[in-house]
Amino acid sequence: MATPSNAGRAQKARPVSQRSRLRNLWENVKSIVGALAIFLILRAFLIEAYRIPSGSMIPTLLVGDWLFVNKAIFGAHVPFTHTNLPAYREPRRSDVVVFVSPFQADEDSLGHDPTPTLVKRLVGVPGDTLYMRTGVLYVNGIAQRQGYGAETRANPELANSVDPLFDWQKKVGLRASRFGPAPPQPTHDNWGPLVVPPGKLFMMGDSRYNSKDSRYWGFVPRENVRGKPLFVYYSYNADDSDRPLPMLTDIRWSRIGHWIR
């Protein structure tokens, strides 16, 4: 007599054990935590994204540019500490630099962040003698190109303006030097000479008449440096677009991939 076939019998599925489910969940959690840890390490010590919110670095950087910043080159800052890792090289004059601003009491009084992260051009390193005459910056007696092309004409409203925030310069301005004495009252376009002290840096925006920089809040401690911008990875017309949703509809395609110098 033929033996009945088992082919048509329903196969009863074996239930997945509770232990197997927990093991699979743990493996997924480890993968997610591992990926998050790698991201945080890269962000803290190697590369970080940064958005340009103001026009102080026009034309080098535009409002709406998004940058990748190399945090390792000048020595990555260890989060929640006052320690920086060893640098590949020191910041050089003319570098574009991302840094934490010295304390700005005027911003604090307005309820704003008194130590924002900024991006400016490094114009003075320790030992440099800096001064401006009629809007032209001099470094060790050599005239520098005005604002890297951003501003070629003085702004009459600002050129001789006096701001209480300039008063810090009175304490460090040289009373006598081969470049002449510092003016009794620093103005926007006429100040110095002053010498950058050890461990400090002097920053200015390329758009000299649209930049609140070291002229206002003084020298930047070397340990405040956070990195060097590499290139623009995304950009849109954020300041004067007449299109809806400019982040999507007014993209500056020609800026994407632009290396920052």
Read off φ and ψ for residue 102, nearest 5 degrees: -60, 160
Active site residue 30: no
Instruction: Give the span between the Cα atoms of 7 and 73, in whole angstroms.
Output: 68
Q: For residue 23, give every residue at least 6 positions away whose Cβ sits within 8 Å of its Cβ, in sequence order, or none.
A: none
Read off φ and ψ for residue 150, nearest 5 degrees: -70, -40
Instruction: Give the span between the Cα atoms of 236 and 53, in whole angstroms.
Output: 12
> From the candidates 120, 200, 212, 228, which is the catalytic residue?
120
> From the candidates 17, 20, 54, 56, which is the catalytic residue?
56
Instruction: Give the span between the Cα atoms of 14 and 30, in whole angstroms.
Output: 27
Name which of 186, 200, 236 is nearest 65 in CA terms: 236
Active site residue 56: yes
Query: Would you put residue 94 in left (φ > 0), alpha (ψ -120 to 50) or beta?
Result: left
Contact 87, 63 (CB under 8 A): no
Q: Which residues are catalytic?
A: 56, 120
